[in-house]
Every structure is written in structure tokens, then in C-alpha cells.
Structure 1
């Protein structure tokens, strides 16, 4: 489809420029779920600054826009809003539509963060959770919970798993697609190229799933029944009930992915190996996500280094 881009003037409304900018630079180049976030930013921009012209977009006007948004959002959400707007603003600056970068030295505010669910479980807590699962001869959501706990898959990746993806001889699971659980179903590409990977499975998981899937259609998702939808909220509710019965912190399916990664890191698996297993686009993503764990491990390493050096003179 060919898109006609209307010539922009400095006196045009900023939200109109942003809308055109999304069509030209983002539409078709990013995932639908990411595009929805940009569209949500667009709707907030229209609501908060319906009459703001490009020519009037100075530091004070931009700070007011950010402040207005921050009144109803947490700081991290406000930061995301700022970053999505800044991309368009930098392009407007390059095009000569504005004279100075209004985002320079912006102050990001926001409401105090609400109480969050635990991000991950300890090894002992995970063991208690897995003991609660009813792992019958039929593929239920409890098996999905087990697979995510053992592999660190994203929810959409786990739903897309088919019998053909298992290589039981080499104890691997191939990840090369996701499931469109937010839409009408069907396979979608992975989040990024790094997400295409082979994950090593432990022998117990291999034996369990070999028995479960041996008679299933090789290219059909094992956790999604024909003509049915699986909702993230439904599986999170099942997981929550198991957590309550196990008397452990309540976590989400994404929290299981964090649990998997944290256990590997605490077991001295390298950050690079964890990044590959999780399908992160770069090791920097892993380091940012698990910075608190990495710092804790660094503190432990310092103690080991000091003890090792002290023993040289003993």
C-alpha cells in the first residue's frame, strides 16, 4: 500500500504530525502489539494537547505535557510515553520544523508505583509450586506452567509449541514462532531474530513430553485446542490458585520466566548463556532486567575474591 504524506508546516498541530509520523516510520515496521502502544500514546497526545502546534513545542510546553500525563501514570509509564514522543520530535527537529530540542533536560515524574506482584520465586518456592501441579495424562494448563518454569519461554512462545518443535534425541525444543493469543489466533513471527533458538531440556521434561505428545498432530499447537482461545489472564488465574495453595508469593506467567532466569543466574550460569536461552536481543537486555540479581552475585564474588587473596599469605 502506498501512503501519501502531506507536507508538514510549522503551524500544524503536533498530534497530527505525530499521527503522520507513525504511518510513515512505524506502520508495518514494528509488531502489532508495539504499534498499539504508539497508538495509545497518540490518543493521550490528542487528549492532553489537542491545540499544541509544532511551532509552539518548546521546553515549557513539552514539560507541561509530560507533567499532565504523569498525573495519571507511574514514572516508568511516563518514561515510555516520553520516549515514544521523542522519536517524532527528533525527526521534526531534523526537518527544521522546530528550532531546539524541547525534550532536553525534561524531568520525568509520575505517581508512586502500585504494589506489584513478586517478580520471581526462590528455588524452594518454585519446588513448592511445581508440587501443586496436577500433571495428568492430558495436556492441561498445568503442563504449560511446568514448561515455562523449565524453559523460561514467553507466554506467546509456549502457546506456539508444536510436537514437531521437540527433538527428543538431542533434548532440545526449537522456538521459531509465537501464537497470536491477543488476536484471532494463528502463528506469528518471534519477537526478534534472537528469539529464534533451541532450548536444552532436562531428561525428566523430555520423558514427560515424549509420552504426552507422541500421538498429536505434528504441526498443531499442543496447548491450544482447535477453534478455542487461550487467555493470559485465565492461565494467570490458574497459576495464582496454585501459588495460594502452595503458600508462596503470587506471580504471573511472566514471573515464571523471571524465576527461570534468576535460578540460572544464582546457579552461576553466565549472563550470555541466560540471554541466549531467553531469546533476548542483546546481553544488555538481560543485564538491565536482572541488574538486582547481578549486583547481588557481584557482592558474593567480591567476598570470594577477598577470601582467595587473604589465603595467599596464610
Structure 2
């Protein structure tokens, strides 16, 4: 190991180490001698601790790409894999050529700060979790000596207020009445929104619903997959299939869906086309344009409807939240709501709808006080 001043005034630190049967040398130039000394000391510590320098030149972005291909591709839900690929894109953009071993905690914190400027806190937290998993593996492989993601400060915009995710009971009634009247084959967005509002399904689950998963005689709805538009196919439900379940819908809605299917068949029949052949998967919300509408399209349609009805503007996911809040505010048992939403844990249901749970507890408290107060003469 040595430190020497170059002709251009820079300071060069050099270290030699044994890589298997061969000796190798690494060097790095610095403006200040103290920086070169610190680097030399750090490299000595890495060599003494058995650091693996065979991948010393791998970039941060390349390492994460390789890690995703090995650990987050096979046996991982397509949606989950795509989320890791999106994180990889962010790393390639911010750290295009920086080597993994050169990344300092300060560098990573600056990245997370910048990321948080344009993303929500939940997204920032999830992105950091993904990166940290890869870095902990790099640490275990002796590629790096410190976890630069440790205790990083997560920033991001605050989540929407609880009330922004739901429609109140009055707006719910107005929207539901409108959707019931317009949920025909000509208005596929309204039909899908009504399905979400009546079942509490996520948009992707509604988009992936097929007629063979709907028993219109018994009202049973089987939810065990969702639509993945990028690949034009089905994938497992959220949590790699953990959101599977069977729920029921009322008889009146079953009749409405039966009529909706008849309208679809008639529409294509009038053009001398076979609905079943055009729609071999049997997708319920297969449109007259022979495709499934996107979440963006449904959100735009919902925004127009809300504006027309002069009610609060919400997204398609609000159909799921409003479905649950409507049931809770009308006395539905929380375990039943958990069942309909297919939450793995009851606590998830409670935490998500705590605002309405507390409101109902207040009503129950008043009723309980009336019961317990009976018999006193004072």
C-alpha cells in the first residue's frame, strides 16, 4: 500500500491484494492527501475482513439488476417483479456508473431525498425496503463492508386524508343510483365501477373477472386472479394469491349482470360476430372495442361522472373503500367485512377503516349505557 503525489497535483492511493492465486492492485486519485489516506485505511480494513474484490467494478445499478434477476424473478408475482424493475430504473437514472463499493451513506440519502420529492411516503418506504434487501445480500457476500441504507431517513408526500379515499353515504347513494341506471354494455366503465362498488374488488380483480367465476343463480363470486394489461393475461391476486376468496352478491344484481351479458352477446351478434369466440377467456368486462379498459380510462370516466353529479371526485379504488365503509356504517360485522375484502388479517381491516369503526363504537357505547343504566331509581 502506498500514497504518492502525481505530476498534476493529485494524490494517488494504491493497494495490493491477493485474489485467489493472483495479486491485483487497485488505485484511486484524490485532491487531498487526507482523502487518499482515509481511502487506503478503509481498503486495508476491507482486505483484512476478507472483502471480495472480484466484483469490485460492478456498478450499484448492475448489482441491483443482477440481484433482481436471481432473487425476484422466478417464483415471484409478475406485479412484484415489475415493481423491482421500476426501482432498478430509478437506480440506473441516479447512479448510472457509480460502483457499488463507492456508494456512501450520504450518496444514498441524497438519492432518497430526491426520490421523496416526487413520490409518496409509502412508495419511498417500499423502494428503500427493496434496495435494502439487495444491499444486505451484498454485505453478506462481502462485496461491501457497510450497509449504507441503515437508518436512512425516508421522505415523501403525506398520504391522502382518510376521508379522501371514501364517498360519504349521500354521495355513495347518488353515485350508485347513477351507475345502476347506466351500467349497460354501451357504458362499460360504469358497469365495471358498479361491480367494484357492489363487490369491493380492486380494479385489476374486476378487470380480470370471467363469467365462469360468476354464479348468477347462487350469487357466488370467485376471486382468484387479476388482469395484467401489460401482458394481456391473468396473474395471481395481491400478495401472490393471498387475496383469493369467494363472496356473494344480491339476487337483483345477478339479474342485472345477466342482462348485461345478454346485451354484449346481442351487440356482437348484430354484427354477425360470435361473442364467445371474440372473448375466449370469457371476460365479463370485454368491451365493444374487444379489449379491457385500463385503470386510467376508468378513472377518467369516474372523474367525469363525479363532476356531472357534483359529488367528491375519487379514484376507482374508492369503490372498494366505500363498499367497506358503507357496510360498517350499516352495522356489518368487521370479520364479515374482512371476508369480503379478503384481508389476510382482521387488523388490516380495522386499521384501514378505524375512522368508521370508532364512529360505530360511539353509537354502541350510547346504546350500552342505556341498557346498563336501567334499574336505577335516581
Q: Scaled by the length of structure 2, what TM-score is found? A: 0.70
Match of 1:211 in 2: 259
Match of 1:149 in 2: 197
* Residue 140 of structure 1 pairs with residue 187 of structure 2: yes
Q: Residues 172 and 201 of structure 1 are in contact (CA less than 8 Å); yes or no, is this contact kept in structure 2?
A: yes
Unpaired runs of 5+ residues, structure 2, are 1-52, 266-274
Match of 1:172 in 2: 220
- Pick closer, same or farther for the CA change 1:309–1:88 going to 2, 3 Å: farther
Match of 2:44 in 1: none
- Pick closer, same or farther for the CA change 1:127–1:92 going to 2, 3 Å: same
- Pick closer, same or farther for the CA change 1:131–1:57 going to 2, 3 Å: same
Q: Residues 167 and 312 of structure 2 are in contact (CA less than 8 Å); yes or no, is this contact kept in structure 1?
A: yes
1:90 alignment partner, one of 136, 139, 159: 136
- Pick closer, same or farther for the CA change 1:254–1:83 going to 2, 3 Å: same
Equivalenced residues, count: 308
- Pick closer, same or farther for the CA change 1:35–1:247 going to 2, 3 Å: same
1:183 alignment partner, one of 213, 230, 237: 230
Task: State how 1:1-314 maps to structure 2 within 5 Å.
Answer: 9-10=55-56, 12-111=58-157, 118-133=164-179, 134-135=181-182, 138=185, 140-141=187-188, 142-180=190-228, 182-191=229-238, 192-213=240-261, 217=276, 220-225=282-287, 227-298=290-361
How far is 1:137 from its partner?
5.9
- Pick closer, same or farther for the CA change 1:228–1:117 going to 2, 3 Å: farther
Q: Residues 58 and 101 of structure 1 are in contact (CA less than 8 Å); yes or no, is this contact kept in structure 2?
A: no
SS in 2 for 1:118: helix
What is the rounded CA distance, in whole Å, between the counterparts of 1:158 and 1:197 in structure 2?
13
What is the rounded CA distance, in whole Å, between the counterparts of 1:293 and 1:100 in structure 2?
45
What is the rounded CA distance, in whole Å, between the counterparts of 1:69 and 1:137 in structure 2?
43
SS in 2 for 1:195: coil
How far is 1:95 from its partner?
2.4
Larger strand fraction of residues: 2
Cα deviation 1:166-222 (Å, max 9, x = unaligned): 223322112223223x22533333333333221111122122223333667495112
Greater RCO, 1 or 2 (C-alpha within 8 Å, sep 6+): 1
Larger Rg: 2
- Pick closer, same or farther for the CA change 1:161–1:55 going to 2, 3 Å: closer
Q: Residues 164 and 219 of structure 1 are in contact (CA less than 8 Å); yes or no, is this contact kept in structure 2?
A: no
Cα deviation 1:263-307 (Å, max 9, x = unaligned): 122233333322321233433443443344445445555566666
SS in 1 for 2:335: helix
What is the rounded CA distance, in whole Å, between the counterparts of 1:298 and 1:52 in structure 2?
55
Q: Residues 18 and 42 of structure 1 are in contact (CA less than 8 Å); yes or no, is this contact kept in structure 2?
A: yes
Q: Residues 78 and 235 of structure 2 are in contact (CA less than 8 Å); yes or no, is this contact kept in structure 1?
A: no
What is the rounded CA distance, in whole Å, between the counterparts of 2:346 and 2:129 in structure 1?
22
- Pick closer, same or farther for the CA change 1:252–1:101 going to 2, 3 Å: same
Give RMSD over aligned pairs: 3.2
What is the rounded CA distance, in whole Å, between the counterparts of 1:56 and 1:304 in structure 2?
65
Match of 1:3 in 2: none
- Pick closer, same or farther for the CA change 1:186–1:212 going to 2, 3 Å: same
SS in 2 for 1:272: helix
Cα deviation 1:128-170 (Å, max 9, x = unaligned): 1122233376463222222111111121221222332222332
What is the rounded CA distance, in whole Å, between the counterparts of 2:370 and 2:57 in structure 1?
67
Q: Residues 225 and 241 of structure 2 are in contact (CA less than 8 Å); yes or no, is this contact kept in structure 1?
A: no
